[in-house]
Amino acid sequence: MISPIETKRLVLRPLEPQDACDFHGLETDPAVKNFLNGASKHDVDYYKQWIAKGGSENSTILAITLRIDGRFIGRCGFTKNWHCDGPELDIVLKKDCWNSGYGQEVGEALIKLGFDEFKYDTIFGVADFKHVRSIKLCKRLGMAQRQDFALRKEGRPVVVYEIRRPSAK
Ligand SMILES: CC(C)(COP(=O)(O)OP(=O)(O)OC[C@H]1O[C@@H](n2cnc3c(N)ncnc32)[C@H](O)[C@@H]1OP(=O)(O)O)[C@@H](O)C(=O)NCCC(=O)NCCS
C-alpha cells in the first residue's frame, strides 16, 4: 500500500470505497476518455467492487484529491507499458480541472515516486498523436520523444516519450 503523497495543492492517495461514484463519473465521461479507450459502460457498482478488490492487477492507481477540501479530481499512477514493457505514466483529470497545472504537479510527484521508491530506470509517457495536452505535458515533465510513432493495441498511432532516472542517463 502506497502512503499518501502531498504536493503543493494535491494529495495522491490509494483509492477508497467512497471514491466509486467519482471514479465512475471520470471513467464514463466521453471527453475525458476521448484519447484513451473511450467512455466506460460500467455502472457504479462495478467500480465499488473493483476498488474493493484492490483495482487493476497491471496498474498502480491513486486518487488525485485537492489538499484544500479533499475533493476527488482524478486518478493517476503507473500502468504496464505495452510498447516498451515498462511503467507508463497514467494521469486522468476531471475535465473541469484541466488547464490548472494539476497534471504537471501529479506527473512530477509520480516521476519522483517511480525513481525514488519503485527504483524504475525509465518511465514512459504515451500520447495519442493528436492529443496536444498529453504531448505538452510529457514535454513539460522533461520527457524525450523515443520514436516517431507507435501503435496502440487498438491500432491508433501514439507518440512515446521517456525519462530516465538521473543515474541511468
Ligand atoms: C492529459 C491531462 C492530464 C493534461 O491536462 P492539462 O490541463 O493540459 O495539463 P496541466 O494540468 O499540467 O495544466 C497545464 C496548463 O495549465 C496552465 N496553468 C494554469 N494555471 C496553472 C498553474 N497554477 N500552474 C501551472 N500551470 C497552470 C498552464 O499554462 C498549461 O496551459 P498550456 O498547456 O495551455 O500551456 C488532461 O488533459 C486529462 O486528464 N485528459 C484526459 C485523460 C487523458 O487523456 N490522459 C492522458 C493519458 S496519461
- State the distance from the centre of ligand 1 to the C-alpha of 134, rounded, in angstroms: 8
CA 101 to chain centre: 14
Ligand 1 pocket, 91 CB below 6 A? yes
- State the distance from the centre of ligand 1 to the C-alpha of 32, rounded, in angstroms: 12
Residues 17-64 pLDDT 10s? 999 999 999 999 999 999 998 999 999 999 999 999 888 877 889 999
- The reported pTM is 0.95
Mean pLDDT over each residue of the chain, to the nearest integer: 92
Q: How far apart are CA 118 and CA 80, in angstroms?
A: 14
| Res 106 pLDDT > 60 | yes
- The whole-number pLDDT of residue 169 equals 56
- 5-168 adopts what CATH topology? Aminopeptidase (3.40.630)
The dihedral of CA 55, 56, 62, 65: what is its sign?
Answer: negative
Greater confidence (1 vs 88) lies with: 88
Ligand 1 pocket, 30 CB below 6 A? no
- State the distance from the centre of ligand 1 to the C-alpha of 142, rounded, in angstroms: 15
Ligand 1 pocket, 102 CB below 6 A? yes
Greater confidence (9 vs 159) lies with: 9
Percent pLDDT > 90 in the chain is 77
- The whole-number pLDDT of residue 122 equals 94
| Res 159 pLDDT > 80 | yes
Q: What is the mean pLDDT of residues 76-80?
A: 93
Take atom 41 of ligand 1 and give the residue whose Cα is closest: 32
Ligand 1 pocket, 9 CB below 6 A? no
3-class SS string, the chain: CCCCEECCCEEEEECCHHHHHHHHHHHCCCCCCCCCCCCCCCCHHHHHHHHHCCCCCCEEEEEEEECCCCCEEEEEEEEECCCCCCEEEEEEECHHHCCCCHHHHHHHHHHHHHHHCCCCCEEEEEEECCCHHHHHHHHHCCCEEEEEEEECCCCCEEEEEEEECHHHC
